[in-house]
Each structure stands twice: as C-alpha cells, then as structure tokens.
Structure 1
C-alpha cells in the first residue's frame, strides 16, 4: 500500500530491494503517474521498481547509524535522548528527497556540471573541472574530516581515557563509499541528507515541548519520555552537531542556505505562536491560555513591525482582505516551518552537484512546492484521520488554537468564525463549532485542491531533470504526498 511506501523498508527486506538499484527503467511522466495509481491498490508490493525507498534502500538503511556517529556524545543520557527519535520508524522524507535528487542529478553529464569545482574526492575521477572560485568548495576536502585540530574543537585531548563529550565523527565504512560511487551520490550529498534529518529531528524535539505533545512516531514524545529540559537540550545538541557537519562540507553557499533553514524554523514557530494578522496586538502574548503583557522596546535596538501586521480596525478592512491576508500568513508560516528545509536542502543538493542556475532554481522550487504540499496535507489529515495512523495526536490543531487551511476556507464562507479564530478557539464549544463549519463549507476538500496545486507545480519543476528511474521515483513520491494517510 502507498502508506507503507512512505516508511523506511524493514531491515529484512533491504537486500531484496537492492536488486533494483542497478536496473534501468524508462522514465516518463505517464509511467510515474500510472505507478502511483497502482501503488494505492491493496495488492501492490512496496518494492515496486519505482518505489522511492527501494531505490535508495541501502542508503536509507544506514541513515540512523551514520547519524548516531555524527551525534557522538560521550554522555550516555544525552546520547539516549538525542537518538530517541531516530530509533522509531519515521517517514524520513527529507533525506529521501536529497538522496533521490542526488541520484537524478548524477545523470547530467559532468561537463555540464561546472558551476563549482567538483573535486576528485567527490566524483572519484582524475578529471579536473573548472568552475567558480575555490572559496565555494575546497578541492579534495573530505566532508568527514575536521578543519580545526580536534584538541581545539573539544578542549581536551581526544585520545585520553576521559572522552570529550563531543567525540570525533567516525568515517563512513568502505561499503557505503563504494555504494555512493555506484549510485552517483556524492559523499557530500549523502552527508547533506544526514544533516537535513538531524535538523528536522531537532525541530521535532523542540516542537513537542512547545505543543505539549504526548506522542510522536507511535510512542511517547521526547518531552514525556525524558523531560522538557532534556528534550530541549537534546534538540540544541543535534543542531550543534549538524552545524559542525555542515561546516565540514566546506561550501559557503550551502552553509548559508542550511543555516538560514534553521533560523526559518524558529521564525515559523513564532509566526504560529503569534498570528499578527488575526490578532494584530503586538503588546501581549497568549501564555498557556492567559494574556501576558510583553516588555515594551527601549528604543536602543530597532524593532521592526512584522510585514503581516494589519494596522487599523476590522470595519475598514474587508472580510475578503482579512481572509486573504490570513492565507498569505499561513502559507508563509508553512514555508518557514516545513518547506524551507526541503527547499534549501534540495537547492544545496544541486549546488553540490555543480549544476547550472536553472537546475538549481528548479530544485529549490521543487522542494518549496513539495514542502508546502506536504504540510497542507498534514493539516488536512488533522481533520480526517486518527491518532493511531498519524503516530501523534489527531485533531490537535484546533485545540492548540491554530487556524490552518481547512478552517481558513470555512472562515471565507462563514465570517462569523472570526471571533473564534481571534481567540484561538479557547472558549467551550469553539472547537466543535469550527469542525462543523469546516464540514459545511467543504474545507477539507478545498484544502486538498490547494495541496494538489502545489503537487502539480512540484512535478513541473522535476521536468527539467533528465529522464531516469530516480526522477520517476521523485515524481512518484510527489504524487504519494497527496494520497498518504499518515
């Protein structure tokens, strides 16, 4: 079933899946669509030739192992908390996108990938390729090796019996290196996939504390299993170790992109906490259901008013303008919280491959559109599926006071929902009224149509890539986002 194709393949099936790696399959848009339709049928095997996970099953199999080596804490409890979410079976969509995109980009001839210097270490060849200055990419630089001496990085001799808390990162095994060469995935791209998942997982640890979540990936969330403090600290530690690995890619453009993605996650969370379109009051915040006055600025540091803030009263702004502003705010927040990491890691993948500007831009737009589609579907599932399927609480958005696409569509047809949205559905009966309004206005169906629009845009972005089984797998993955139920 399609829902199974969005989970990592069980360990006992990895070897079986590898038989597809060296085969070539014709790749057309029609083939990908046909395969996607077949995959939603109950009798379909998860190891379809175009199944995204089957195509890079070996790389996905070692993802958790390599990340555990990157975490490298010498403190057993910190190690335990930081690796907690990697133990459970997650979607792993973000590293999957990077790996499949890397494989698809490898079909572009090397002489057409000359935007940066692609060094001998990257492509395992003696040829030298000219590109932009070496400041962007250090030729011959191993992404596993430190730039500064280890005794400087760790503040202690790493060879003495007292191990530093942040241990040196362990080299990839020879089998993984040879597999990368065979599949056309550059070592730096594989590392980028691991970094992307580390950043995402750190955000989950933080989000579950903020949202008071009690489950994640089918079991207790990190904040419940350990504590709020440990979950926050483990998330911070993951971001720190991801930043170290990011620096070792030795590509300043990629470092800038991925560092911005980390900042975007925080910006998006703030936009969600304080919706300045629905409630333009910038002097108070909602603190666990109670309004709290925030300190006024002293003037020593300029504080810019958010561009989405609406000055004035509701009687001089039309209802349609209010709804449109709320949708723009929602989509911007969705980009920052979800699509930014997908889009910037996709762009970084193309940069590391040395692709031209057109390909880099389309890879970025692909990640952006796919990310928006993914989150919009996630918001829709909050209204349509169960906690057992989601692996996290269902129906949580309204309870958290979040006005996502389904209720925004309902608001467009029912202006009377404005006070409920403004007070974040905090009064008794608000959540139930909002759910009924969503049903009466077909808010879920309209949300699905919005997700399909971004799905179609993402598929169009993929058309610039050369035809390959990897591109077909990306097309299939893109289609599967719409039909997933978890």
Structure 2
C-alpha cells in the first residue's frame, strides 16, 4: 500500500461525507471568534481515523448492515473530543502548525485557544448526554479525564532519561489509545449487551491506538514537516521522550547528557535525531508498533473472518504503512 494513499472505505463513504457536514453544524457558536476558531479546526481536514473505525465497527456488528443514528452521532462526538484535545496539546507543546495550517493559539491567542478547546469538550459532552445511554456517557466521559492524566504523566517525565517503555506505553494509552478503545467499546454498547463483544472491541481499539501513537512518534523523528503537517522533532524539543529515543538510550547512553541539557538549541535536536537514526531505536519502535497491530488483528480473528473485517484490516495496515 502506498504510504501516502489513505484507503477508501466505500461501505461507509456516505456516512463519512455526512460526518464532515455534521461536524461543522455541531460546533456553531454564538460568538464569531469562537465559531471562527472551531470552523478552522474542522476545515483543516484530517484523516478522520477515529470516526472511520467507529462506523466500520457499527456496520460490522449490525445484523441489518445499517448504522444507527446514535452510532453516527458517537463517531462525530469522538472526532470533536479528539480535536479539542489537539487544541490544548498545541498550546502545551507550543506547536505553530497542525495539519499544515496555523494552530488556533497562533491565529488567535492562547486564551481563545483554551476557550475553543473547552467549548468543544462542552459541546461533545452535551451531545453525549443526548444519546440517553448512561453507560456510554460514563465510558466516554472517562476519556476526557484520561487526557489530563496523560498530560500530567508526560509533564512529570519531561526530559527524564530514566523513563521506561512501560511509562511511555501508559502515557500513550491515556493520551491516545483510551479514546479509540472506549469509542470502539461504546459503539458496541449502543448495539449489544454482550460483554465479550464489548471487551474484544475495547482491546482492538486499545492496541490500534497504541500502535498509532508509536508510529506518530517514529514519524516525528524520520518524517518531514510536509508529511507531518507540523515541525519534525517537536517531541524532542518539548522533552517528550518517546519509544525511538528510549530504545536508542540503551545503545547510546551519551544521549543522557543532551537530555539533561534539555536540547537547548536546534543543533542539539538535530544531533539527537542523527544519533537515534544510527541505532536500532527506530526499528525496535517499529517492532513494538507491529506487535500491537498484531494483537489488535488477532482479537478480531477470534470472532470474524478475514473477509468480514477487511476494512478494519485496511485501517490497521494504513497505520503501519505510514512509516514505509
């Protein structure tokens, strides 16, 4: 698969088109600046991987092959929550661009960006409550607290070369995998009371989410600004020690000196990237991502045939193929 080619999901194409229309309708705000900020976020596009996964699962588990209105709304809510988290992330990490366009705090101000993120979280909560399913409300609401937990864990470990892979995976779960895992589970909760089905899709989402984050962190080192839509090396600059760097530290302990100095200039960041590329750090991170992809796929194979989960497999392969 071409790494630049996002797979087409014909089975949910109509639903995805409607989702893009609905997202803009759902974030209409009375104040023009708040509306402008929200509109810019969704106009910037994105692959919509999270709602895509939700819609694929909804169709897979449906006896009639139809996706319910509640599941479609959940897909929209998930994307709004994800977008809100990006707004706050960009402020914390001081990112200048996102998806190739200027970040909200760059266009407006930090204050407006914080309010825009809060507004999106509030909107998602309102639509979530209107699903009238208390169990779904509980599981998705926890995701928002997980975001905060992940940010705190990341901040505590900033520029800490003693961080372990276990610490990194835990932080990655809170920041990325929790939303995907809980959304996958919530999708099944809107269709079935079968606990085994719910837990299987939770595991699928969890491992897909972890793989996605690991691949993102690899791309931050080997990718270009054009591909990433934001400056490469952002994690290193902000002291977020990710899988490739953690693995590289096992081979090159001299990296500790650069980490202790907090990469105080661009030359240091370039040096760290060069050192990482000359170790097995990137390959070990790739292997770790593959392991999580394999666990996710195996979870599906226990219940469904390869033909039935074709679209979920395409998502899995796309996530992995981004680094090739």
Structure 1 residues 74 and 276: alpha-carbon distance in aligned structure 2, compared to 1, 3 A threshold:
closer
Per-residue Cα deviation, 1:49-76 (whole angstroms, up to 9, x for no partner): xx4x332111111112212222232222
1:472 aligns with 2:310: yes
Per-residue Cα deviation, 1:81-118 (whole angstroms, up to 9, x for no partner): 112111122011011111001011114xxxxxxxxxxx
**Over the residues paired in the alignment, what is the CA RMSD in angstroms?**
2.1
**TM-score, reference length from structure 1:** 0.63
Per-residue Cα deviation, 1:182-229 (whole angstroms, up to 9, x for no partner): 741111111100000000000111111111111111111111122211
Q: Distance in 1 between matches of 2:82 and 2:108?
A: 19
1:409 aligns with 2:247: yes
Q: Distance in 2 between matches of 1:468 and 1:456?
A: 14
Task: Pick one of 61, 71, 75 that aligns with 1:193.
Answer: 75
Task: Pick one of 197, 202, 207 that aligns with 2:89.
Answer: 207
Residue number in structure 2 paired with 1:453: 291
Residue number in structure 2 paired with 1:133: none
Residue number in structure 1 paired with 2:207: 369
Shift of 1:360: 0.8
Check the 8 A contact 1:340/1:368 in 2, yes or no: yes
Structure 1 residues 422 and 332: alpha-carbon distance in aligned structure 2, compared to 1, 3 A threshold:
farther
Q: Distance in 1 between matches of 2:5 and 2:273?
A: 30
Check the 8 A contact 2:218/2:323 in 1, yes or no: no
Residues 88-99 of structure 1 aligned to structure 2 (within 5 Å): 88-99=44-55
Q: Distance in 2 between matches of 1:239 and 1:201?
A: 9
**TM-score, reference length from structure 2:** 0.93
Structure 1 residues 428 and 192: alpha-carbon distance in aligned structure 2, compared to 1, 3 A threshold:
closer
1:400 aligns with 2:238: yes
Shift of 1:484: 1.4
Residue number in structure 2 paired with 1:278: 160
Q: Per the alignment, in what secondary structure is the counterpart of residue 254 of structure 2?
A: helix
Q: Distance in 2 between matches of 1:106 and 1:278?
A: 47
Task: Pick one of 218, 239, 246 that aligns with 2:128.
Answer: 246
Residue number in structure 2 paired with 1:463: 301
Residue number in structure 2 paired with 1:484: 322
**Structure number with larger C-alpha Rg:** 1
Length, aligned pairs only:
324
Residue number in structure 1 paired with 2:37: 81
Structure showing the higher helix proportion among its residues: 2
1:71 aligns with 2:55: no
